[in-house]
């Protein structure tokens, strides 16, 4: 447990994050720094940060390398099938896999209108 502004913050031992966008990567890095032992990012694209229009692929690869150095696991090209209290079930290249975790977070961007999709909101 960590005390932050007189609030007790419980840090999970294992965490799965669904979505490799800016929020997912930030939370993964912070939780690892705070003491979470096993952090896994699950991303449907071939790389993290693929949904950001103006980001350079080399910068995205560099950011991923920093996360790997922090011992954060990154699983790409997969689709989450379902989530239970203690695991995330997903499929990657026709192979079903399971990641056991105490907690999972989902940071998935969804567009509400076609206009948001077109202008990149």
Number of domains the chain is built from? 1
pLDDT digits (tens, 9 = 90+) for 2-13: 555 555 567 788
pLDDT digits (tens, 9 = 90+) for 87-121: 899 888 778 888 888 887 876 665 555 555 555 55
On whether residue 3 sits in a domain, the answer given is no
- The whole model's pTM is what? 0.77
CA distance 4 to 17: 23
Q: Specify if 2 maps to a domain.
A: no
Query: If residue 8 lies in a helix (H) or strand (E), which one and from where to where?
Result: strand 7-9
Residue 15 lies in a domain: yes
Name the residue range of residue 103's domain: 9-119
CATH number (domain holding residue 50):
3.50.50.60
Sheet of 14-18, strand order: 73-75, 38-42, 14-18, 103-106
Does 1 fall in a domain? no
pLDDT in tens, 27-61: 899 889 888 899 999 998 888 887 776 677 888 88
Q: Is 27 within a domain?
A: yes
Q: Does 4 fall in a domain?
A: no
């Amino acid at each position: 447990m960590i005390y932050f502004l007189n609030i007790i913050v419980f840090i999970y031992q294992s965490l799965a994050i669904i979505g490799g966008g800016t929020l997912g990567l930030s939370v993964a890095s912070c939780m690892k720094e705070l003491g979470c032992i096993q952090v896994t990012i699950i991303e449907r694209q071939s790389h993290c940060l693929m949904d950001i229009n103006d980001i350079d692929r080399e910068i995205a690869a560099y950011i991923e390398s920093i996360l790997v150095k922090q011992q954060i696991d990154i699983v790409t090209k997969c689709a989450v099938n379902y989530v239970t209290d203690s695991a995330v079930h997903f499929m990657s290249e026709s192979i079903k896999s399971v990641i056991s975790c105490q907690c999972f977070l989902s940071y998935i961007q969804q567009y509400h209108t076609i206009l948001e999709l077109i202008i990149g909101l």
